[in-house]
């Protein structure tokens, strides 16, 4: 693969995808499979779209708030609900809980289900061991195939994203699902315009337009010429200069299509997929290797479609991002809990232990919990690995324990 973002991949993908150029998207035009509404929530939509939600991981970048006992999907980082509960609410009524699968790990499964009691118990898929999102995706896709068939369209989504405009969020998924429904080989990723050369995200450089005359920069969907996960800072700047989109981590595809793509491209999973198809989930997880969807699939395929969006996406990935996704006061402070801000600007405060007073400082992170208070700059809060190396083990793993 070339090192410059404007290089062309051999064999331009996407030329076999005619007839998907509509720019007005309602339920009938999307051509998705339909079913009779099952609940009042489903009555507002007749699209039989499924969802697979990834809700694993402790989230060590949100230490000390995030611990094995209280992992990231259960945190109230953006609003009053845990991230996982917000994700399911945001998908409804387009995708009801009855058509949502949540993938998580055994150690936090009970807590996850308690946070989303509307999810049927059979829809909580508990991984025998955490092995990255590609393995979780394969299991979710196989489960959907077992229940409804290979042609069922589903969206795959992480539980730790923020969406400012939720109606546009759902419309973007509908639009992406329309492409997946009309082409059984299409793999679709929802993108958004970058606002900075962030090295923590994936970048998609657009190729052939799927809506003639409407380039990706103006909201037109396109075939992805090149996908790069987490580039270096200079490469990220170059991608942005060439009109690349960030990957939001929201995907739409037919269940059979994505399993075929994983089998053809993701060598880390190939030895286990036959076991998964035969229902031997433990054997599957014992055979495969850990890899992400982005590294294991998207960087390796040529039939990826990007659907641009403008729903105000952000990844809830670090403490610093909370200034972008939380409601801010008049001086730019993002606060959850009781805090008094005096002559203080652009701080993030999260307190669950008494009242915090912040005076005369800017751009700090203050986290106050029973047993520990953590203070650093927002800049240093982006990377906590050096801190963990010097922490006592009991504090690193469970900062709310008695010290």
* Ranges 36-45, 68-77, 229-238, 387-396: which has the least confidence: 36-45
pLDDT category, 280, cuts 50, 70, 90? very high
What is the mean predicted confidence (pLDDT) over 374-401? Answer: 75
Mind listing the pLDDT tens digit for each residue in 182-196? 998 999 999 999 999
Q: Based on the domain organization, do 246 and 364 belong to the same domain?
A: no
pLDDT of residue 194: 93
- The residue assigned the tokens 């994203």 is 161
> Last residue of some domain: 256, 280, 315?
315
Domain assignment present for residue 403? The answer is: no
pLDDT surpassing 80 at residue 138: yes
Mean pLDDT (the chain) is 84
Between 1 and 326, where is the model more confident?
A: 326
> Last residue of some domain: 315, 333, 349?
315
Q: Between 166-182 and 83-91, two packed helices, what is the crossing angle to 10 degrees? A: 60
Q: Based on the domain organization, do 45 and 186 belong to the same domain?
A: yes
Token pair of 227 as six digits? 């996908």
Q: Based on the domain organization, do 280 and 136 belong to the same domain?
A: yes
Rounded Cα distance between 154 and 255, Å, is: 7
Q: Based on the domain organization, do 204 and 271 belong to the same domain?
A: yes
Backbone angles phi, psi at 132, to 5 degrees: 85, 170
Q: Based on the domain organization, do 118 and 207 belong to the same domain?
A: yes
Q: Based on the domain organization, do 357 and 298 belong to the same domain?
A: no
pLDDT of residue 267: 97
Domain assignment present for residue 222? The answer is: yes
Q: Based on the domain organization, do 335 and 374 belong to the same domain?
A: yes
Q: Based on the domain organization, do 160 and 289 belong to the same domain?
A: yes
Rounded Cα distance between 120 and 88, Å, is: 12
To the nearest whole percent, how much of the chain has pLDDT over 90?
56
Domain assignment present for residue 282? The answer is: yes
pLDDT surpassing 80 at residue 59: no
Which stretch of DSSP H or E encloses residue 369?
A: strand 364-369
pLDDT surpassing 80 at residue 344: yes
Q: Based on the domain organization, do 336 and 189 belong to the same domain?
A: no
Rounded Cα distance between 395 and 187, Å, is: 43
Q: Based on the domain organization, do 311 and 324 belong to the same domain?
A: no
Between 325 and 33, where is the model more confident?
A: 325
Strands (E), 11-170: 50-54, 100-105, 124-127, 153-158, 161-163
Rounded Cα distance between 169 and 322, Å, is: 19
pLDDT category, 34, cuts 50, 70, 90? very low
Token pair of 169 as six digits? 């969020």
Instruction: Give the Cβ contact number of residue 90 at 10 Å.
Output: 19
pLDDT of residue 217: 79
> Last residue of some domain: 315, 340, 367?
315
pLDDT of residue 396: 63
Backbone angles phi, psi at 356, to 5 degrees: -105, 135
Domain assignment present for residue 11? The answer is: no
Backbone angles phi, psi at 366, to 5 degrees: -130, 120
Q: Based on the domain organization, do 188 and 327 belong to the same domain?
A: no
Q: Could you tell me the end-to-end alpha-carbon distance of the chain, in angstroms, rounded to an integer?
A: 51
pLDDT of residue 41: 36
pLDDT surpassing 50 at residue 110: yes
Q: How far is CA 229 from CA 157, 294, 296, in A?
A: 17, 6, 10
Domain assignment present for residue 21? The answer is: no
Domain assignment present for residue 329? The answer is: yes
Question: What's the domain count of the chain?
Answer: 2
| 3-state secondary structure (DSSP) of residue 132 | helix
How would DSSP label each residue in 87-104? HHHHHTTTS-GGGEEEEE
- The residue assigned the tokens 């394969």 is 138
Q: Based on the domain organization, do 225 and 373 belong to the same domain?
A: no
Q: CATH no. for residue 203?
A: 3.90.550.10
What is the mean predicted confidence (pLDDT) over 246-262? Answer: 97
Helix ranges (DSSP H) in 149-232 = 166-182
pLDDT surpassing 80 at residue 29: no
pLDDT surpassing 80 at residue 88: yes
Domain assignment present for residue 19? The answer is: no
pLDDT of residue 397: 56
Q: What is the residue range of 348's domain?
A: 319-397
* Ranges 4-8, 87-91, 156-160, 224-228: which has the least confidence: 4-8
pLDDT category, 400, cuts 50, 70, 90? very low
Domain assignment present for residue 95? The answer is: yes
Q: In degrees, to the nearest 5, what angle opens at C-alpha 212 toward C-alphas 207 and 218?
A: 70
pLDDT of residue 17: 38
């Amino acid at each position: 693969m070339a090192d410059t973002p404007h290089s062309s991949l051999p064999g331009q993908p996407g030329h076999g995808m005619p007839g998907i150029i509509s720019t007005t998207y309602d339920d009938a035009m999307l051509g998705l499979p339909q079913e009779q509404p099952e609940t009042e929530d489903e009555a507002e939509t007749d699209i039989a779209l499924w969802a697979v939600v990834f809700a694993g991981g402790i989230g060590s970048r949100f230490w000390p708030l995030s611990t094995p006992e209280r992992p990231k999907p259960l945190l109230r980082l953006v609003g009053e609900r845990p991230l996982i509960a917000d994700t399911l609410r945001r998908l409804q009524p387009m995708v009801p809980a009855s058509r949502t699968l949540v993938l998580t790990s055994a150690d936090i499964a009970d807590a996850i289900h308690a946070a989303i009691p509307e999810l049927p118990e059979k829809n909580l898929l508990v991984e025998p061991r955490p092995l990255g999102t590609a393995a979780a995706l394969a299991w979710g896709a196989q489960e959907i195939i077992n229940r409804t068939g290979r042609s069922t369209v589903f969206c795959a989504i992480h539980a730790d994203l923020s969406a400012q405009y939720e109606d546009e969020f759902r419309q973007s998924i509908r639009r992406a699902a329309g492409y997946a429904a009309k082409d059984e080989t299409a793999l679709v990723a929802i993108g958004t315009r970058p606002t900075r050369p962030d090295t923590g995200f994936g970048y998609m450089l657009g190729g052939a337009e799927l809506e003639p005359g409407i380039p990706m920069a103006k909201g037109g969907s396109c075939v992805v010429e090149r996908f790069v996960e987490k580039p270096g800072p200079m490469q990220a700047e170059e991608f942005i200069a060439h009109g690349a989109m960030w990957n939001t981590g929201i995907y739409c595809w037919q269940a059979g299509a994505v399993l075929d793509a994983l089998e053809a491209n993701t060598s880390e999973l190939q030895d286990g997929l036959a076991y998964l198809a035969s229902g031997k989930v433990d054997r599957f997880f014992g055979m495969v290797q850990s890899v992400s969807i982005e590294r294991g699939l998207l960087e390796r395929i040529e039939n990826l479609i990007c659907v641009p969006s403008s729903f105000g996406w952000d990844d809830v990935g670090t403490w610093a991002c909370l200034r972008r996704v939380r409601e801010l006061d008049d001086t730019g402070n993002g606060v959850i809990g009781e805090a008094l801000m005096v002559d203080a600007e652009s701080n993030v405060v999260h307190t669950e232990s008494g009242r915090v007073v912040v005076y005369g400082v800017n751009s700090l992170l203050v986290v106050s919990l029973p047993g520990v208070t953590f203070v650093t700059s927002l800049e240093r809060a982006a990377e906590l690995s050096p801190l963990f190396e010097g922490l006592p083990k009991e504090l690193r793993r469970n900062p709310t324990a008695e010290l």
